Amino acid sequence: MILNQRMKCLVSTQAVLLFLLLFSQLRADIALITASDARALIEHSEPSKRPIVLDTRGGYKDYFRSHIPTAHHLEFDTLRGTDRAVPVQYLPDDLTKALLIRAGVDRRRMHIVYATGASLPNDEILSTTMVVYVLEKFGVENIRIVDGGLAEWTRQGLPATQDYFGNPKGDLPRKGKPGIAASIEQVQAHVGRPSNLLVDARPLNEFRGEDDVWLRKGHIPGAISFHWARLMESENTHKFKPLSETKAALAAAGITPDQDIICYCGTSREGSLLYFYLKHVAGFPKVRLYEGAWKEYVWLQGKSLPAEVGGKAAGLQ
């Protein structure tokens, strides 16, 4: 009798947990999801209630080697291309919409997005946050990033596959959110005003101009440096530190909820991670991304826009 009661209690508890998980799927939100919760949704008994799964890795051979079951490969850089000489600019809206529809993005479904997790210099998580940013900009409101990515999925012993998976044609929201993007004109008007903050998410050496990457060296005058990797676990660059561990570092850097914040980086991937964390993990209300990023800034107006070199990481001694 006691055993039967325990079994009933266990079944009841599992039913409650499944209900809560399914309820979270129905709630429009952009957030993190654990690997185990993602698996439960992917394996839902009703196919119509399963999420759209997007693998954003840049290496197609990585997808061939192993991926999460039902993952559709949406290589992040298919959403960008050279425009007016500037490389890796976001594509025009009509092309982007066509690619998202082809990938099965659907306004009625949850989207689970992931890439690879590893230690630095691996930065595949940036492909995920960039795609999530694009989805949000085109009006998608129900998105989860697998915290820890494929590495965490594998570490937990969850099943992976080599089978291909293609989503049916998607259906985008009727209305997007273009306001989450900042133009160069908005960046220029933003800098130097009270309660405004411009944050450079690149490594400190690039912020300082000590690199062999960029056409011009340094950073946008008035920006502060906060490298995106400060928000991630060191042993897995796809796993986010909880806000309880980053709140003090953000505050020490002057990054607080009362600020009107624009994030940027080299090509907008690193900035997209900082944007995601501040807006969707920390809950900051006023955050935008300068899509053009440093690679656009250094080319504009005949390479004449001002740049600064040097500086230190905000909030660090």
What whole-number percentage of the chain has pLDDT above 90?
90
pLDDT at position 317 is 77
Instruction: Note whether 217 and 307 are within 8 A (CB).
Output: yes
Catalytic residue among 231, 265, 274, 281: 265
pLDDT at position 122 is 93
Q: Which of 63, 86, 288, 286 is nearest to 183 (CA)?
A: 288
Q: Give the residue-averaged pLDDT of 203-215.
A: 98
Instruction: Note whether 197 and 262 are within 8 A (CB).
Output: yes
Instruction: In whole angstroms, give the CA distance from residue 52 to residue 43.
Output: 12
Look at domain 25-155 and name its CATH class.
alpha beta
Band (pLDDT 50/70/90 cuts) for residue 26 is: low
Question: Fold identical between 25-155 and 178-303?
Answer: yes
More confident residue, 292 or 8: 292
Instruction: In whole angstroms, give the CA distance from residue 148 to residue 146.
Output: 6
Q: Give the residue-averaged pLDDT of 209-218.
A: 97
Q: What is the mean pLDDT of the chain?
A: 93
Statement: residue 7 has pLDDT above 60: no
Instruction: In whole angstroms, give the CA distance from residue 147 to residue 163.
Output: 23
> 87 is written with which tokens?
């490389």
- The strand order across the sheet containing 30-33 reads 30-33, 143-146, 111-114, 52-55, 71-73
Tokens 């995920």 sit at which residue? 128
Instruction: Note whether 278 and 261 are within 8 A (CB).
Output: yes
Segments making up each domain of the chain, as ranges: 25-155, 178-303
Instruction: Note whether 160 and 69 are within 8 A (CB).
Output: yes
Band (pLDDT 50/70/90 cuts) for residue 313 is: very high
Q: Residue 145: which residues within 8 A CB-CB, separation 6 or more?
A: 31, 32, 33, 112, 113, 114, 128, 129, 132, 276
Statement: residue 24 has pLDDT above 70: no
Statement: residue 168 has pLDDT above 50: yes
Statement: residue 15 has pLDDT above 50: no
pLDDT at position 17 is 46
Tokens 């693998």 sit at which residue? 55
Statement: residue 9 has pLDDT above 60: no
> 5 is written with which tokens?
């009661």
- Classify residue 157 by its DSSP letter: T
Please give the backbone phi and psi of residue 26, each rounded to the nearest 5 degrees, phi first: -75, -30
Q: Is 265 a catalytic residue?
A: yes
Count CA atoms closer than 13 A to 26's CA, side-chain side: 6
Q: Residue 26: which residues within 8 A CB-CB, separation 6 or more?
A: none
pLDDT at position 16 is 46
Instruction: In whole angstroms, give the CA distance from residue 241 to residue 230.
Output: 9
pLDDT at position 48 is 87
What whole-number percentage of the chain has pLDDT above 70?
91
Bridge-based pairing of strands 80-83 and 86-90 is antiparallel
Statement: residue 3 has pLDDT above 70: no
Q: Give the residue-averaged pLDDT of 189-199.
A: 96
Segments in the chain forming alpha helices (H)? 2-26, 35-42, 60-65, 93-102, 125-137, 149-155, 184-190, 204-208, 243-252, 269-276, 293-297, 300-303
Fold of the CATH domain 178-303: Oxidized Rhodanese; domain 1 (3.40.250)
> 162 is written with which tokens?
């080599």
Q: Give the residue-averaged pLDDT of 72-97.
A: 98
Q: Give the residue-averaged pLDDT of 197-208.
A: 98
Q: Residue 46 forms beta bridges with which residues?
A: none
pLDDT per residue as tens digits for the range 40-60: 999 999 988 999 999 999 999
Q: Which of 76, 71, 35, 43 is nearest to 55 (CA)?
A: 71
Number of helices (H), then strands (E), in the chain: 12, 14
